[in-house]
Structure 1
Amino acid sequence: MSQIEWSIGGMTCGGCANRLKRALEQADGVMSAEITIETKRAKIHFDEARLNAATLKALIENVGFVVTV
C-alpha cells in the first residue's frame, strides 16, 4: 500500500471535502482518503498495483478540484 498527500485547490466547504472523499473511496484501489478542509489537503492510501498517482490526480480533477503537488 502506498500513501500520497496533496494540496487541493477549489475546496471551499465541508460539502466539497465530502464529495471528494466519496469519489476517491469509490475508486478501485483506494483504501482510504482523509480530506482536511482547514488545510485543503488530501491524504490518500492506495494500492499501486491497481492505480497510480496520475490516475488519482485525474480523478480529483474530474470531480472539479485542482491538485498541487
Structure 2
Amino acid sequence: MKTATISVSGMHCDGCAQIVRNVLERQDGVQTSTVSYADSTARVLFDPARMDESRLLQIIEKAGYGATPQPD
C-alpha cells in the first residue's frame, strides 16, 4: 500500500470534503481516504498495482476540485 497526500482546492465546506472522500473511496484500488476541508488536503491509502497518484488527481479534478500532489 502507498499513501498520497494531495492539496485539494475549491472545497467550501465539510460537505465538499465528504464528496471528495466518497468519490475517492468508490475507486478500485483505493483502500481509505481522509479529506479535510480545514486543511484543504486529502490523504489516500491505495494499492499502487491498481491505482496511481496521477489518476487520483484526475478523479478529484473530475469531481470539480483542484488537486496538487504534496511531497511526503
TM-score scaled to structure 1, two decimals?
0.96
Gaps of 5+ in 2: none
Superposed CA deviations along residues 10-55 of structure 1, whole A, max 9, x for unmatched, are 0010110010000000000000010011111000000000011111
Gaps of 5+ in 1: none
Alignment of 1:4-19 (within 5 A): 4-19=4-19
Alignment of 1:1-69 (within 5 A): 1-69=1-69
- Between the two proteins, the alignment pairs up a number of residues equal to 69
After the TM superposition, list the runs of 4 or more consecutive aligned residues in structure 1 that deviate by more than 6 angstroms: none
Identity of aligned residues (%): 33
Alpha-carbon RMSD across the aligned residues, in angstroms, is 0.6
How far has the Cα of 1:68 moved from its partner? 2.0
